[in-house]
Each structure stands twice: as C-alpha cells, then as structure tokens.
C-alpha cells in the first residue's frame, strides 16, 4: 500500500475530508475554525470537486445561527451537508442541532473546540463549547491529533449516514487545528469505501419533495410527544456499533487502528487516566515513558463520547485498575464534577450494578481539570496526576497546570520531568509577525515532511497584538509519529529573528545544553557578543551554546525585501541544523518560495531566492568567550513608576510568563484595571515623526489621524515650560482663541508604530523645499532617549480645561486628552482614530459596549489595554459581551442609566427640602449640552454630596450611591461591519427602532477584519474577500439609508481622511441627539491591500468618487423646517475606477477576469452616480414636524 503523506494542519486535515463528501456547506467565520471554511471556499472556487464530481454549494450566512438554519433546510431537502464552527458559534447552532438530531438527519459538523466566553473571551482551546452540546442529541466524536482529525472526519461522515444520528466531530482548537503535522492522507477511494451509497440514497429518499410529500416540524401535545421522543432510541443504540465497524473498515484500508475507547499502557496497569483531545496524546507519550520505566500505568482515550457505550468503556480498562483520574478540559461551576468524570463514575457504578465489572478491586475515581483556554498540558503534569493516583488518599477533585493558591485545588508538578526521546530534534524561533517567521517555518515543516523520512510538527504561538506581534514557532522532527501536544520545552536550536528581543524575552531558558543560538543582529558579527545582556552571556557559557550571527536586515535591504527576513533565517536554519544536505535544502527552500510567493509574482520570487543565495555566505559562527563581559543587565519590562498590579501581573504577562501567575493574582470576575497600555513600551517604529515648529500651521491633523495617540497637541501657558528638557520644542500659538499661549506637537517615541499616516496628512510644507513638511520621519533609535524625556514632560503639562476649548472641531478636539492610547491595533489602523476621537470628546462620561472583533481585541486583549483615565480618574468604561448581541448589550447600559436617572431624580425631588429647592431643581433640569454645562453639573453633584453627608436617612444613602448619574453619561455601541451589517443587524435594528439615547459607531472595514477578511454585507461590489474570491457580485448594503427610513434616528456617514470637520460634527451631533444615533465610519484596513500610510488619501478618493457618501441625517432639523438630511459631499468628481485600482482587493479581479472587472467598474461608477442622485433628492426634502398632542389637544411638552 503506497502512502500519500501530506503535511497539513488539523483544520486542513478535517476540511479535506468534509469537502469531498459534502454537497452543501453553510458557514460563518469564527476562530479557530475559519480556515476550514476558507479552504472549502477556495477549493470550490478553483474547481475542485467532491467525490461525485461537483463542487459543493457553499454559502456564508449572517451568523452561525443562520448557518445552522440553512443547514437544517439543506438536510431536510436531502443534501449531504456540513459546517465548521467553534465556541460561541457552536452555541448559536444549538437550537437547530436539537431539531437536526430530533429529525434523525445525517449530518456532520467539525468543531475546533474552543473556550466559551465567561469572565473573559478566549479564542483558545478547551471543551467547554462541545460539552454545552451534550444534550442536543448529536454524537460527539473526538480527534486527538492532526491525523485523527483527518480520519475521524471520515468516520463521522460515514457513520452519520448509516446511523442517521448527526455527528459533532471535534478536535482541540489551536493545539490540533493549527498544528502542522505530517500525516497519511485518505484517498478518494478510501472515502468511497467508507461512505455507504445506500445510506445516501436513503437520505435522499427522506428528502422533502413535492414528488413524495411529507410533513415535518409538527407541534405535538402531551398525549404523544414523550413517546415520539423515545421512538428514536434504537438509532442511538446502534450508533456505537456503526462507528466501531467503520473504524475496523478504516483500519483495513489504512492500517490505522482506532476504537471507541482506546487503551494504551501496561496491560496490568493499576493507575489509569481517562481523557480526550490532544492532551490524550501527551498522556500517551508519558505513559509509554513511564511503562518503559516499569510503572503500571495506562490511559483510556475517549473517542466516541456520545453516545457513551458503558460496556465498551469498562472493557477498555484493565481488570488490574485500582485508581482512575478522569481529566476534563472544561469547567462546570457548581456541578458535582466535570462532565467526563461524572460519566465515568456513572459508568462504573452502573457496571458494578449490572455485574459487568471484572476489576479485582473497585477503582477509586478522582477528577482533574486541565488545559482551559489552551493552558499547557505537559508530560510533567501527566506524571503529577499519576503520582496523585499513587497516594493512599488522593484529592477527589483537583486542577493541574496552574497554581491555585486560593482554593488549593492544584497539583504541583516537576517541570524538569521530560519524556522526549534523544532522537527528537526541537527548535524554537522568535520572530515578529511582520518578518514572516511563521510562514517560513510552516514551509520548513513541509520541506522536512516531504523530503525526509522524518515526522515533523510545527506549532505557532502569537501574542494578541496586531502590530509588532511576537511569534514563537515550535518545531519538532522525529523518526516516529509525534505525540507531543505541548510546546517545546528544551530546544536544540533557538533562533532570535529580532535583536530587540534579547532584552525582552528569556529565550535561552529553553535552550538545551549545547544548543545552537542563531541571532539576527546588525553590524559586525564579532562585536555582537558585547551587545548581549549579562544574563544571556551567562546562559550561553553555562549551556555551552554554539552562537551564530547574521545581519538579515542588511541582506533583505540589499535585495529590496524590506523587513522580510524569513527566508534568510530559514536558510540559516537549514544550513546550521543539517536536517538536509545544504544544496538540497536550498533547492527545496527555493521550490517552496516558488510555491508560496508564486501567487505574488516572479519579482517577489526572484528577490526571495536572491536572499537565500546571500544568506549562508553571510552567516557567521561567533566563538563564545569563557567569561561574561557585559556590564549591563536585561532592563525591566515596565517602569518602576507603574502601579503595583502592572508590576506584579501585567509585567509578568508581558514577559511571556503569565503561566506562572497564581489564582490569587486575578480578579474573581474578569474586572481589569484601565490604563495599562502606557506601561508597555514596545518601541516598534524604526522611524518616528519629528515636528518642525517653524513650518507647522497648527492644524492638528496629525494628532487626529494618529491611530495610536502617539502624536499629540497641547496649548499651555508659557511658564509651564519651566524645567523643560533641552530638546523640547514649543512655539507660540498662532490663532486667536488661545493667543499668548504656547503650542507643542509631541510624539510618543516608544509608542509610535511608524505608520506614516501623520506625515501623509500634514498639509504644511517648507515652501522652499516642499519635500520637507512640518512632520517628517526620522530614525527612532537616536531620538529615543531625548524624545522619551520630552514626551514625559509633555504629558505633565497641564491639560486644557475642557470647558475652555473654544472650537470643538477637528482642530480643537485635539486639545482634549485622548483616553484611548497605544493600542495593539495595526500600524496605520483606520478604526482607532475614531475611537480616540470618541474618548477625546466624551471620554470622561463614556460607556462603551464593544462587539467582538478587531476593536474588542485591540481594546481589551491582555496583557495591556488602551482605554485609560484622565487626571480626575474618569474615563471610558468598556465591556465586551458577544459578537452578535452588542446593540442589545449597550442598550442595556442605557436601560440601567435611565433607571438610575429616574431613581436619582425621584430621590432629589424627595430630598429637595433638605438639599435646597434651587439645587434640586438645577440638578434635575440643568442643561448638559456642552462641556461648561457638564462641568457645572459635576460641581452641583459635589455640592449635593456635601449636603448629603449631613443627612441621616436611607434615601440620602441611596442618593449618594446614585448621585453621579445626574451627570449625563454617553452610551456608545461600537463594533465592526460584521456585527452591524450581519450578525448583529437584527439587534441593531431593534435598538434604533426605540427612542432610547444610544449612539452606535460602526467601524466599517467592509470585511470581517479580525478573522481574516471574510466578506460581510458591507463589502462593496467587485471587492475580492474571503468567501467572495471572484469579487462580490452584490453591492454594499446601505445601512445608513435603512436607518434613515425610521425618521427618528440620527445617521451619519463619515470618513476622517476625507473631511475631518464633518467627522467631528457628526460625533458631536450624534451624542447631542437625545435618541438613537448611528455613525458609519469608513475605516481603511490591511485587508484592502495597499499601504496604510495612504489610508487618509484613499478615504478622500472614496468620497470624491462617490463611493463613500458623507452626510448627516439629523432629526433635530425637522422641527426647524430644514431638510433632515445634510449632504457633506458633492457630485462625484473622481472616477470610481481610480479608487478601485488603488486597492489590491479590486485589482486581483482585474487580473483574474478583466471582463468581470470592467463590469464591476461600470456598475460601481453608475451606483456612485445613482447614489448621489438619490441622496441629493433626499437632501432636498423637508418634512412637516410632528407635534405631539396630549389628550386635551395640547402639547405635553408645554407644561414643562
């Protein structure tokens, strides 16, 4: 039997089967399952077919709930259907899962098991989502590895057809879904052998068709429902047998043996672990190691978890078993135990009752919880569990993998315990996302997988930053299949692709004695040793490290590769490691470059190949001296001025050692302090903006567009300059409103990402040398120290009194302190300038409900978060609920605020005699329409508090606790287009259909940016996006126009790059409007495929061409007899083609299908013109004001 070996990740392994055996696929992107849907869509669009010679019909729906509904329908109509999902997405499918199971519809879904959001969201892996589906009636089949994800996918699809019980096939999110591994592929013939054609025919026979009409979905009453529910029992009874026989068939085809419950270990084991998922592989590896040392241990891997066949489970356990530890990768607070444990206890009890047990003594069962949110689960932890089982009185319930110093559930483990064999090679690569390290390592794994007899494994760890993300690649090669589902703990090869990391990360902690350390460092290789910190030198000497240095950036620059050093470092890895002969390795690297970058074009391939040729010639081995010579130590990660929590918790997380933090370090409910991003000085920018005060026209545009609040403007009195650093720049303020004050534009040198947006929008040029602007980029390193001091001084300059800001426009707004700063958003992000502006305008009284997506990740992903406070301690209060419910979630804020306000007003009225009638009246009736009025109200509340202090009553105490609600709060519902146009549209529509005072900010990137650029209903006509690879054939949904139709909703479309003033006006009007407001904000995005430095210019072109209208629909204008719609843009004066040709998302269509592109161009041009015509007419319409009459025919407002 010839084996077809492929090197793929778990997602591809599962999807390759699902695609081939499906006719209809309904999808919605969710991490970590999205790649399966993307692959299927890509395969279908490339003409790949299923087993029956046609490409499956694939449809992206508006949510997982929508996908489940579509699937239910497809199944009813007789198709073989599938989907891919995880976590919250799986929860949204549950209602339909009950229906699908209740109707015995053959169906398989593939789930990358992921943590459910509780006190926090986590994209990583555990079984909490799958466990929430136990009750649906789906069979639950678990894969433990990439190979199994492939094989069990086939078993699931085959078994569901035969059994009619729908299958949820799952494997661990990230650990399996994203692990790249060498596996044996199932051929089409293998799949045909497994899939029963008779079962397919039977499924089709049951399809709803008018040719054989039947009825499903009846409503049943107490007389029959119960019996009917029991009628399906036999199908569940038969399912395990069907799965088992298919596993037998698969074994005959492939030689790979699986069983429902699979035992591994000593046949006479006394201590047994029961486990499912990737942890089972680690446990298996550990068991083999311990058995070889004579220990009587074993594991039972649970594959078919539902239906749970007790008899087979009991038989899987050796009769010698004395104690069992059941490990659950989920947590059910308040339950007598986590689910797998309860199942095992029940099975043993029933077996005992049924006299099926053959144990010499009844095993003692204990329960452990491990691996939540992809927490590491290592052989040392497995060993600790076995050790616990050895104890005469083991803990009944425990955790493993954390330090629980609060409820003391955790077992301790010996981190030095290892099971890896000596012939397993391990490597660690530390890189930046942008330098391509992960991509190159994926290719390296594939090269090793294809070109050697070795088995290879790659796993990749990322931080959660979208700019300057650090990646760690974990590679293993072995002569045997690799079961190690945990990170590399001792590496024979450590590569550091970024020199700055030597001061941030203790990389050599994981280096094995005698390991190779490859460092990318600029300049003379022989001088690099002296630049290393003491700690690193010490480790290198102690571990006898072989030290290699290459100046990869110099080579990349020479070849015109920018910061892409991945193929250089990859070549060095092969050159040093000797996995393959050098020449052979280089040939394979070039082949993989051709494969990877061929899609970008021959010039890109040529440049990559050029650096490969250069790499080895410039690689230097540097002798490691006998003694430490460095005088400097690794600097602390955060300033000593940082708060205690940041020092003790955030800094540990920043150092990549968050695993070491004990339970007591954490808040109990997910509450987290704000203002922590400021302590994480990431120093990402190679160049930073430098201000030339002489040229500057003091327009503040640079500050407004900065996505990271890293360039700021201030006006202040001249005496405040006392003690300014020598290089601090200042000039007289030019305009009348602050005449006599001084003005400074200051960059935050260590927080700037170097995106260039500020430079590109700067309108001020040196007339004698227009190339020189008021803002110019210069190398950061030589400026860093001086600018750091300047920035500190700048921050300590007094803020302008908010009430003093005369013109609250795009210029004046920038004198307000931003309370959103230094986020991890992409360099040049088009969303964050809006959020920063929002916090400047209303930050000290702002509540934000944030839909899941980019803005919730850069807004709330640990270790540090960007929302912060002003000097009074006030600032945005922020929370993320879900993706789908954000409008409702934020609406709930308003309900609560309105309730608080009603209560507080009542209390003020009740206590008016005590606090003073005048104060009471003012507190209730004072206007709060501008900063001065809000300041006045804050002062009234202070007076109120002082008066309440002297009043002894329950009402006074209640009023004290609610008094701050007398100051107007601003509620903003923030999210992307995926939320607003698609998954959350129903909620958004409902919220604006009410009159409650909420403000909705849609950061419209026109794709699901966070999950990788899948199309949404905001995606414009002709744009290529994932799930619309050939260009979206339907135009963008006009969300604003839909909202306009209500008449009572304030609606604006804005684009800061086109008209900053209009953006600020819209934000202010929306907030001022005492009803629902909707702002749709054009947000350029990396998914659009151009240099983000040009983002503002492209926004302008979008508006000038009529692609993106600017308008404000303000219901407040109606009573004045004015048309509510105010157009803020003119007739299209630029060509839509010029706009579209600037972005790769459109140009790829021109390349692939010029005729289709031409059609898109013409239609888009026409749409832009029609849109303007429609808006222009609407802008001319005045409508009669509606005068509300009371019962007596009078205006109810008159009495006030």
Partner 1 sequence: MTLATTYMGLPLRNPLIVGAGPLTGDFDNVRQLEDDGAAALVLPSLFEEDITTEQLTDFFSYDTYGDSFPEASSYAPDPESAPGPDAYLEHLRRVKAAVDIPVIGSLNGSTPGGWLSYAKLMEQAGADALELHLFHSASDPALSSAEVERQMLQILTAVKGELRIPVAVKLAPLFTAFANFALQLDAAGANALVLFTRFHRIDFDVIELEVLRRVEYSTSAELDLRLRGVAALAGRVRASLAITGGVHTALDVIKGTMAGAHAMQTVSAVMRYGSAHLRKVLTEVEAWMIANEWNSLAEMRGNMSYQRVPNPAAYERESFRRMFSVDVARG
State which of positions 1128-1147 bind partner 1 (CB under 8 A): 1144-1145, 1147
User: Is 978 a residue that touches partner 1 (CB under 8 A)?
Assistant: no
Site residues (CB under 8 A) for partner 1, limited to 800-839: 826
The pairing of strands 1050-1054 and 1111-1113 is antiparallel
User: Is 174 a residue that touches partner 1 (CB under 8 A)?
Assistant: yes
User: Is 438 a residue that touches partner 1 (CB under 8 A)?
Assistant: yes
Among 708, 1150, 1161, 1175, contact with partner 1 (rule: CB under 8 A): 1150
SS3 995: coil
Among 603, 778, 917, 929, contact with partner 1 (rule: CB under 8 A): 603
User: Which residue among 790, 1010, 1044, 1063 is the active-site one?
Assistant: 1010
User: Is 1086 a residue that touches partner 1 (CB under 8 A)?
Assistant: yes
Among 324, 491, 572, 1087, contact with partner 1 (rule: CB under 8 A): 1087
Site residues (CB under 8 A) for partner 1, limited to 43-82: 45-46
Site residues (CB under 8 A) for partner 1, limited to 101-130: 123
Distance in angstroms (rounded) separating the CA atoms of residues 789 and 682: 16
User: Which residue among 114, 164, 607, 1171 is the active-site one?
Assistant: 114
Q: Within a 10 A sphere around the Cβ of 911, how many other Cβ atoms?
A: 21
| Look-up of token digits 């009587």 | 296
Among 1158, 1177, 1183, 1189, contact with partner 1 (rule: CB under 8 A): 1158
Nearer to partner 1, 464 or 1182 (CB): 464
User: Is 377 a residue that touches partner 1 (CB under 8 A)?
Assistant: no
Phi-psi region of 323 (alpha: psi -120 to 50; beta: other; left: phi over 0): beta
Query: Would residue 64 show up in a list of annotated catalytic residues for this protein?
Result: yes
For residue 27, count CB atoms less than 10 angstroms from its CB and return exposed for 0-12, middle for 13-18, buried for 19 or more.
Answer: buried
User: Is 10 a residue that touches partner 1 (CB under 8 A)?
Assistant: no
Site residues (CB under 8 A) for partner 1, limited to 288-327: none
Torsion on CA atoms 210, 214, 217, 219, rounded to nearest 10: 130
In whole angstroms, how far apart are CA 1015 and each of 56, 83, 822, 1025?
Answer: 19, 17, 28, 5
Distance in angstroms (rounded) separating the CA atoms of residues 274 and 338: 13
CB 760 to partner 1: min, Å:
13
CB 149 to partner 1: min, Å:
17
User: Which residue among 31, 852, 864, 886 is the active-site one?
Assistant: 31
Among 531, 591, 741, 765, contact with partner 1 (rule: CB under 8 A): 765
User: Is 1090 a residue that touches partner 1 (CB under 8 A)?
Assistant: yes
User: Is 12 a residue that touches partner 1 (CB under 8 A)?
Assistant: no
Among 180, 199, 432, 715, contact with partner 1 (rule: CB under 8 A): 432
**Total interface residues for partner 1 by CB under 8 A:** 73
CB 605 to partner 1: min, Å:
9
The pairing of strands 410-411 and 1111-1113 is unpaired
Distance in angstroms (rounded) separating the CA atoms of residues 67 and 71: 6
CB 439 to partner 1: min, Å:
5
Nearer to partner 1, 31 or 419 (CB): 31
Among 415, 523, 560, 1121, contact with partner 1 (rule: CB under 8 A): 560
Site residues (CB under 8 A) for partner 1, limited to 380-399: none
Site residues (CB under 8 A) for partner 1, limited to 501-530: none
Helical residues (DSSP H) of 293-362, grouped into ranges: 310-316, 339-353
| Look-up of token digits 């069983």 | 259
Nearer to partner 1, 214 or 1155 (CB): 1155
Nearer to partner 1, 1019 or 1044 (CB): 1019
1038 token code pair: 């006009």
Distance in angstroms (rounded) separating the CA atoms of residues 899 and 896: 5
CB 42 to partner 1: min, Å:
6
Stretch touching partner 1 by CB under 8 A, among 394-402, 465-473, 534-542, 966-974? 465-473
Site residues (CB under 8 A) for partner 1, limited to 851-910: 857
CB 597 to partner 1: min, Å:
7
Stretch touching partner 1 by CB under 8 A, among 461-469, 518-526, 729-737, 1053-1061? 461-469
CB 1022 to partner 1: min, Å:
14
User: Is 933 a residue that touches partner 1 (CB under 8 A)?
Assistant: no
Site residues (CB under 8 A) for partner 1, limited to 233-262: none
Nearest to 150 by CA among 185, 179, 177: 185
| Look-up of token digits 């395990």 | 240
Q: Within a 10 A sphere around the Cβ of 746, how many other Cβ atoms?
A: 24
E strand or H helix at 459, and its extent?
strand 455-462
Q: Residue 479 CA to chain centroid, in angstroms?
A: 36
Query: Would residue 839 show up in a list of annotated catalytic residues for this protein?
Result: no
Site residues (CB under 8 A) for partner 1, limited to 695-754: none
The pairing of strands 1007-1008 and 1014-1015 is antiparallel
Torsion on CA atoms 1186, 1190, 1195, 1199, rounded to nearest 10: -150
Task: Report yes or no: 1087 and 1025 within 8 Å, Cβ to Cβ.
Answer: yes
754 token code pair: 């170097």
Task: Report yes or no: 124 and 173 within 8 Å, Cβ to Cβ.
Answer: yes
Distance in angstroms (rounded) separating the CA atoms of residues 596 and 45: 19
Among 604, 624, 903, 912, contact with partner 1 (rule: CB under 8 A): 604
Strands (E) across 1-107 are located at 5-9, 24-27, 57-60, 81-85
User: Is 42 a residue that touches partner 1 (CB under 8 A)?
Assistant: yes
Q: What is the DSSP string of 998-1063?
A: -EEEEEE-SEETTTT-EE-TTSPTT--BBTBTT---SPPP-HHHHHHTTSSSEEEEE-TTT-HHHH
Among 581, 602, 636, 1121, contact with partner 1 (rule: CB under 8 A): 602
Stretch touching partner 1 by CB under 8 A, among 429-437, 928-936, 1062-1070, 1104-1112? 429-437
CB 796 to partner 1: min, Å:
35
Site residues (CB under 8 A) for partner 1, limited to 1003-1022: 1007, 1009-1013
Nearer to partner 1, 173 or 1109 (CB): 173
129 token code pair: 């989502």
Site residues (CB under 8 A) for partner 1, limited to 642-671: none
Stretch touching partner 1 by CB under 8 A, among 63-71, 272-280, 365-373, 1148-1156? 1148-1156
CB 1154 to partner 1: min, Å:
5
User: Which residue among 64, 489, 750, 1150 is the active-site one?
Assistant: 64
CB 626 to partner 1: min, Å:
39
SS3 819: coil
What b/e sequence results for 252-289 when a residue is b if at least 16 CB atoms lie within 10 Å of its CB, and e otherwise?
A: ebbeeebbbbbbbbbeebbbbbbbbbbbbbbbbbbbbb
Query: Would residue 1010 show up in a list of annotated catalytic residues for this protein?
Result: yes
Among 232, 469, 628, 1134, contact with partner 1 (rule: CB under 8 A): 469
User: Is 581 a residue that touches partner 1 (CB under 8 A)?
Assistant: no
Site residues (CB under 8 A) for partner 1, limited to 1026-1055: 1026, 1028-1030
Task: Report yes or no: 373 and 365 within 8 Å, Cβ to Cβ.
Answer: no
User: Is 364 a residue that touches partner 1 (CB under 8 A)?
Assistant: no
Nearest to 905 by CA among 952, 844, 842, 967: 967
CB 84 to partner 1: min, Å:
15
Nearer to partner 1, 797 or 1087 (CB): 1087
User: Is 562 a residue that touches partner 1 (CB under 8 A)?
Assistant: yes
Strands (E) across 858-915 are located at 877-879
556 token code pair: 């990349």
Residues labelled catalytic: 31, 64, 114, 1010
């Amino acid at each position: 039997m010839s084996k077809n070996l492929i090197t793929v990740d778990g997602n591809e392994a599962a999807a390759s089967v699902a695609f081939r055996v499906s006719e209809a696929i309904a999808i919605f992107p969710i991490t970590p399952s999205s790649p399966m849907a993307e692959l299927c869509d890509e395969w279908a669009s490339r003409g790949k077919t299923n087993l029956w010679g046609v490409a499956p019909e694939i449809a992206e729906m508006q949510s997982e709930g929508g996908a489940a509904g579509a699937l239910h329908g497809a199944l009813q109509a007789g198709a073989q259907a599938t989907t891919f999902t995880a976590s919250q997405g799986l929860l949204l499918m549950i209602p339909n899962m009950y229906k699908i199971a209740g109707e015995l519809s053959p169906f398989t879904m593939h789930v990358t098991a992921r943590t459910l959001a509780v006190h926090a969201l986590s994209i990583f892996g555990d079984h909490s989502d799958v466990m929430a589906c136990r009750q649906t009636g789906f069979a639950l089949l678990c894969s433990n590895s990439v190979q199994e994800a492939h094989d069990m996918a086939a078993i699931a699809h085959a078994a569901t057809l035969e059994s009619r019980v729908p299958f949820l096939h799952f494997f661990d999110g990230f650990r399996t879904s994203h692990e790249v591994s060498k596996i044996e592929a199932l051929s089409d013939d293998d799949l045909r052998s497994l899939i029963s054609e008779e079962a397919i025919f039977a499924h089709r026979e049951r399809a709803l068709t008018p040719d054989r009409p039947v009825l499903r979905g009846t409503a049943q009453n107490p007389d029959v429902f119960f019996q009917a529910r029991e009628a399906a029992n036999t199908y569940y009874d038969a399912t395990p047998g069907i799965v088992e026989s298919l596993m037998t068939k698969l074994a005959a085809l492939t030689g790979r043996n699986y069983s429902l419950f699979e035992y591994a270990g000593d046949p006479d084991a006394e201590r047994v672990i029961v486990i499912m998922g990737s942890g089972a592989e680690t446990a298996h590896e550990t068991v083999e190691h311990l058995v070889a040392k004579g220990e009587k241990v074993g594991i039972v891997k649970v594959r078919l978890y539902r239906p749970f066949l007790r008899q087979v489970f009991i038989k899987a356990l050796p009769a010698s078993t004395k104690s069992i530890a059941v490990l659950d990768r989920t947590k059910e607070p308040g339950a007598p135990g986590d689910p797998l444990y309860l199942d095992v206890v029940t099975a043993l009890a029933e077996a005992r009752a049924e006299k099926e047990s053959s144990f010499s003594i009844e095993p003692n069962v204990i329960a452990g919880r491990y691996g939540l949110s992809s927490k590491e689960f290592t052989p040392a932890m497995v060993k600790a569990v076995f050790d616990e089982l050895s104890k005469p009185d083991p803990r009944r319930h425990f955790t493993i993998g954390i330090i629980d110093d609060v409820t003391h559930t955790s077992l301790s483990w010996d981190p030095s315990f290892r099971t890896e064999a000596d012939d397993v090679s391990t490597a660690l690569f530390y890189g930046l996302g942008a330098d391509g390290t992960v991509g190159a390592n994926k290719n390296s794994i594939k090269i090793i997988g294809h070109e050697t007899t070795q088995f290879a494994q790659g796993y990749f760890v990322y931080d959660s930053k979208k700019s300057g993300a650090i990646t760690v690649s974990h590679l293993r090669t072995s002569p045997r299949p690799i079961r190690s589902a945990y990170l590399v703990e001792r590496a024979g090869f450590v590569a550091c692709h970024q020199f700055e990391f030597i001061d941030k990360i203790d990389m050599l902690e994981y280096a094995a004695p005698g390991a190779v350390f490859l460092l990318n460092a600029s300049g003379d290789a022989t001088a690099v040793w002296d630049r290393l910190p003491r700690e690193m030198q010490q480790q290198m000497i102690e571990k006898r490290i072989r030290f290699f240095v290459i100046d990869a950036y110099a080579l990349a620059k020479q070849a015109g590769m920018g910061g892409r050093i991945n193929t250089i470092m990859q070549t060095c890895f092969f050159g040093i490691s000797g996995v393959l002969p050098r020449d052979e390795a280089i040939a394979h690297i070039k082949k993989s470059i051709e494969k990877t970058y061929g899609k970008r074009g021959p010039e890109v391939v040529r440049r990559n190949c050029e650096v490969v040729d250069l790499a080895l010639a410039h690689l230097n081995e540097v002798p490691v001296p006998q003694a430490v010579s460095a005088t400097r130590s690794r600097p602390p990660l955060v300033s000593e001025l940082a708060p205690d929590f940041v020092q003790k918790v955030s800094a540990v997380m920043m150092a990549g050692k968050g695993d070491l933090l004990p339970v007591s370090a954490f808040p109990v409910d997910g509450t987290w302090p704000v203002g922590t991003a400021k302590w994480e000085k990431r120093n990402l920018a190679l160049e930073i903006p430098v201000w030339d005060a002489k040229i500057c026209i003091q327009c503040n545009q640079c500050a407004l567009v900065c996505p990271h609040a890293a360039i700021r403007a201030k006006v202040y009195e001249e005496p405040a300059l006392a003690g300014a650093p020598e290089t601090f720049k200042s000039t007289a303020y030019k305009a009348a409103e602050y005449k006599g004050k001084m003005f400074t534009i200051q960059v935050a040198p260590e927080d700037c990402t170097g995106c260039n947006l500020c430079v590109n929008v700067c309108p001020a040029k040196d007339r004698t040398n227009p190339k020189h602007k008021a803002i110019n980029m210069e190398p950061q390193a030589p400026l860093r120290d001086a600018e750091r001091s300047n920035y500190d001084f700048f921050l300590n300059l007094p803020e302008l009194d908010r009430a003093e800001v005369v013109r609250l426009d795009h210029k004046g707004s920038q004198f307000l302190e931003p309370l959103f700063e230094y986020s991890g958003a992409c360099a040049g992000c088009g969303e964050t300038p809006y959020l920063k502006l929002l916090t400047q305008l209303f930050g000290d009284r702002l509540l934000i409900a944030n839909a899941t997506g980019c803005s919730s990740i850069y807004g709330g992903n640990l270790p540090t978060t960007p929302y912060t406070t002003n000097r009074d301690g006030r600032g945005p209060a922020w929370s993320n609920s879900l993706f789908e419910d954000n409008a409702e979630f934020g609406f709930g804020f308003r309900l609560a605020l309105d309730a608080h306000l009603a209560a507080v007003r009542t209390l003020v009225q009740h206590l008016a005699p005590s606090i003073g009638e005048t104060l009471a009246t003012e507190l209730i009736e004072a206007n709060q329409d501008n900063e001065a009025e809000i300041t006045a109200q804050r002062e009234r509340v202070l007076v109120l508090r002082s008066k309440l202090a002297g009043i002894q009553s329950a009402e006074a105490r209640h009023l004290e606790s609610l008094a701050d609600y007398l100051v107007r709060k601003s509620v903003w519902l923030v999210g992307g287009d995926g939320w607003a146009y698609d998954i959350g549209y129903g909620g958004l529509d409902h919220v604006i259909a009410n009159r409650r005072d909420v403000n909705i900010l849609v950061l419209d990137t026109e794709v699901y940016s966070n999950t990788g650029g899948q199309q949404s209903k905001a995606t414009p006509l002709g744009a290529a996006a994932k799930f619309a690879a050939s260009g979206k054939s339907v135009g963008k949904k006009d969300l604003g126009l839909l909202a306009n139709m209500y008449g009572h909703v304030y609606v604006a479309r804005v684009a800061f790059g086109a008209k900053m003033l209009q953006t600020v006006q819209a934000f202010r009007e929306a907030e001022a409007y005492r009803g629902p407001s909707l702002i749709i904000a054009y947000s350029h995005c990396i998914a659009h495929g151009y240099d983000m430095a040009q983002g503002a210019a492209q926004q302008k072109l979008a508006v000038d061409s009529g692609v993106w209208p600017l308008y404000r629909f303000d219901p407040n204008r109606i009573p004045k007899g004015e048309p509510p719609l105010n157009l803020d843009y003119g007739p299209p004066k630029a060509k839509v083609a010029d706009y579209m040709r600037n972005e790769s998302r459109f140009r790829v269509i021109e390349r692939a299908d010029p005729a289709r592109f031409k059609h898109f161009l013409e239609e888009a041009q026409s749409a832009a013109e029609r849109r303007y015509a429609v808006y222009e007419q609407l802008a001319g319409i005045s409508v009669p004001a509606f005068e509300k009459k009371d019962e007596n025919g009078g205006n109810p407002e008159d009495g006030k």
